[in-house]
């Protein structure tokens, strides 16, 4: 439940509401939904099309392939969702999931989570076809968010990605609150490797330090492993990060070990 006494609310504008069953019907989001920690409503713009055929798209001006979603039905459905949220005493925020938007990051997820906890209701606009009439975006959309530099068939999967990322940060959703605090990106680094039983699998053993019971050594190993993985896979994260004294020391160790390994292999 949010700090404002209301569950997080997502009103999704989509012509495929059935897709959201993947989120509402399984796993952590389903459990949190049943516990009343968040709410979901689907709004189909076809119900606001004004045409018997319930069409919401038309050919693009200027020619070209595909169809474009018409502004009229989308504005009508967004205003209906806004009115519903206003009746419930909530401020609204309209977000369009779009490849043209700002990249969704952990920092932005946490900002959205705080807004949800404060009672803001989100209206997530899921585009289809070649896109949405730009006039609708200019009139009604407050923010465009992208989940990556690639194109999907519609905004439903990105909307569910955003929702899942926010939901798992809500108080009480995860059984162990430390789970969210130790995720990748929370500390600006990728997560360290994880292991479980058996101790040996296909000739590979769990690192001995993780079996030692020495919590200080385990914490240090995990931080070092996270730094090494981040340096290998996402060096941009390290360039944008102010390292602590311990992280600087561990990174120096990683570099020395890497250099030593190259010497052992005869590399120069």
Asked whether residue 142 falls in the same domain as residue 213, the answer is no
Asked whether residue 40 falls in the same domain as residue 144, the answer is yes
Check if the beta carbon of residue 154 is closer than 8 Å to that of residue 161. no
Asked whether residue 149 falls in the same domain as residue 227, the answer is no
Instruction: Read off the pTM.
Output: 0.88
Residue 127 included in any domain = yes
Asked whether residue 109 falls in the same domain as residue 151, the answer is yes
How are beta strands 38-43 and 57-58 bridged, if at all?
A: unpaired
**How high is the pLDDT of residue 3?**
44
pLDDT at 2 over 60: no
Asked whether residue 160 falls in the same domain as residue 67, the answer is yes
Residue 192 included in any domain = no
Residue 32 included in any domain = yes
Asked whether residue 148 falls in the same domain as residue 228, the answer is no
Tell me the two tokens of residue 23.
């989120």
Average pLDDT over all residues of the chain: 93
- The residue length of the chain stands at 268
Give the contacts of 262 (CB within 8 A, at least 6 positions apart).
268
Asked whether residue 19 falls in the same domain as residue 119, the answer is yes
Q: What is the dihedral of CA 159, 163, 166, 171, to 10 degrees?
A: 170
Asked whether residue 151 falls in the same domain as residue 88, the answer is yes
Distance CA 162, CA 106 (A): 10
In this structure, of 83-92, 179-188, 219-228, 234-243, the range with the lowest mean pLDDT score is 179-188
Residue 41 included in any domain = yes
Residue 181 included in any domain = no
Domain of 253? 200-264
Q: Among residues 119, 142, 167, which one ends one of the domains?
A: 167
Residues known to be catalytic: 99, 130, 168, 183
Query: What DSSP assignment string belongs to 138-167?
Result: HHH-SEEEESSSS--S-SHHHHHHHHHHHH
Q: What is the dihedral of CA 191, 192, 195, 199, to 10 degrees?
A: 180
Asked whether residue 51 falls in the same domain as residue 103, the answer is yes
Check if the beta carbon of residue 160 is closer than 8 Å to that of residue 33. no
Asked whether residue 155 falls in the same domain as residue 253, the answer is no
Asked whether residue 144 falls in the same domain as residue 40, the answer is yes
SS (H, E, C) 56-121: CEECCCCCCCCCEECHHHHHHHHHHHHHHHHHCCCCEEEEEEEEEEEECCHHHHHHHHHHHHCCCE
Q: How confident is the model at residue 266 (pLDDT cuts 50, 70, 90)?
A: confident
Q: Among residues 113, 148, 167, which one ends one of the domains?
A: 167
Asked whether residue 89 falls in the same domain as residue 212, the answer is no
Distance CA 75, CA 246 (A): 53
Q: Give me the number of domains the chain comprises.
A: 2
91-119 tens-digit pLDDT: 999 999 999 999 999 999 999 999 999 99
10-63 tens-digit pLDDT: 999 999 999 999 999 999 999 999 999 999 999 999 999 988 889 999 999 999
Residue 117 included in any domain = yes
Distance CA 147, CA 159 (A): 9
CATH code, domain with 220: 1.10.1270.20
């Amino acid at each position: 439940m949010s700090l404002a006494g209301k569950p997080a609310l997502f009103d999704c504008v989509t012509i495929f509401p059935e897709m959201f069953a993947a989120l509402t019907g399984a796993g952590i989001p389903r459990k949190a939904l049943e516990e009343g920690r968040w709410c979901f409503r689907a709004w189909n713009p076809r119900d606001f099309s004004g045409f018997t055929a319930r069409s919401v798209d038309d050919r693009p001006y200027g020619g070209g392939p595909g169809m474009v979603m018409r502004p009229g039905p989308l504005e009508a459905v967004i205003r209906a969702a806004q009115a519903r949220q206003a009746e419930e005493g909530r401020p609204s925020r309209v977000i369009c999931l779009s490849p043209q938007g700002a990249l969704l990051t952990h920092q932005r997820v946490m900002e959205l989570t705080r807004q949800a906890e404060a009672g803001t209701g989100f209206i997530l606009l899921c585009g289809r076809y070649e896109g949405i009439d730009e006039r609708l975006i200019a009139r009604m959309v407050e923010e465009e968010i992208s989940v990556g530099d690639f194109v999907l068939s519609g905004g439903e999967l990105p909307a569910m990605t955003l929702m899942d990322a926010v939901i798992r940060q809500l108080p009480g959703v995860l059984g162990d609150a430390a789970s969210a605090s130790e995720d990748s990106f929370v500390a600006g680094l990728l997560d360290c490797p994880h292991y479980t039983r058996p101790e040996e699998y296909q000739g590979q053993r769990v690192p001995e330090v993780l079996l030692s019971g020495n919590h200080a050594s385990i914490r240090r190993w995990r931080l070092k492993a996270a730094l090494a993985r981040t340096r290998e896979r996402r060096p941009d994260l390290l360039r944008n990060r102010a390292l602590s004294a311990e992280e600087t020391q561990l990174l120096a160790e990683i570099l020395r070990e890497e250099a030593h390994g190259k010497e052992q292999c005869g590399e120069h």
